Each structure stands twice: as structure tokens, then as C-alpha cells.
Amino acid sequence: MIHLYFGQGVSRCPGASDGHYLAGYTFHLPYDVPETPSAQANWRSCERCYGLFYFGYPGGGWCPAGGSHLAKGSNYVFPHDVVETPTSQAYWRFCTKCYGLFYWGYPTKGHCPAGGAHEAAGYNFVIPHY
């Protein structure tokens, strides 16, 4: 399962007994910039699991560390429904059950901390990387 999370600290991985492992791209997450018709604001890092989740609804979704996510840090603004480029990756989605950001590009959708597989909804986020 691929979640977008911060590498510092010990993260919590749903469905696994240990933390996340770093792999793949180093992403460049736009933050504290205005929301546009093709970029959604209100994405935050969770203080407890280090994952990214949508903070634009009441409550905080479901955190793999238990209970709701706890927002900290910057307000990330993610491009969506734009063309993927050699320096960006598409198929990042919002999960309606945990409010987390997860990679939807594999046949299996991973373990959602709210139970079962993630359920994608909304935009197709295209995240810049180095």
C-alpha cells in the first residue's frame, strides 16, 4: 500500500505491524499557496501517523494510530485533474473512509485504517516530485 507520508519520525501503517518504508519519489508538496480550480487546499499532515489527510470536513477522518487524525504543520495545496508529467505522478486519491491520501495506481487499494480497502472519491491528484 502506498500512502504519502512524512519520513521523519515513526509513522503508522494501516494493516501492518510496523511503520512505513521509504520508496519511490521524493515529492514536492506545494503549501500555503492559494487554492485554484485545479488545486485543492486543506491537506494536512497528521501529528500521530505522519500521513496526509484532508482537513476540509468536520472531524479528522480515521487515523491508523487510533481515533481521528490530528492536523499539524502547513496547509498543502494539491494539483488535480491535470496532465501527469515526468516530474509529477497521477492517481493519488482521497479515501472517503479515513480521509487519507493514497495511491490508486495499483490493482489492490491497500488497507484503510477505517477497515477494508480504501474507497477513492473526488479528484485525481497529480503530485509533483523531484
Residue 121 forms part of a structural domain: yes
Residue 33 forms part of a structural domain: no
Residue 63 forms part of a structural domain: yes
What would the pLDDT profile of 20-64 be if each residue is shown by its tens digit? 455 678 888 999 999 999 999 999 999 988 889 999 998 889 998
Rounded CA gap, 113 and 64, in Å? 5
Residue 31 forms part of a structural domain: no
Pair 12, 64: CB distance under 8 Å: yes
Q: Where are the beta strands (DSSP E) in the chain?
A: 39-46, 52-54, 71-79, 88-95, 101-103, 120-128
Beta bridge partners of 44: 53
Q: Does 2 score more than 50 pLDDT?
A: no
Residue 21 forms part of a structural domain: no
Residue that has been written with the C-alpha cell 486543506 in this structure? 42
Structural domain total, the chain: 1
Mean pLDDT of 109-113: 86
The residue range of the domain holding 91 is 39-128
pTM over 0.95: no
Residue 122 forms part of a structural domain: yes
**3-class SS of residue 86:** coil
Residue 113 forms part of a structural domain: yes
Give the pLDDT of residue 129. Answer: 92
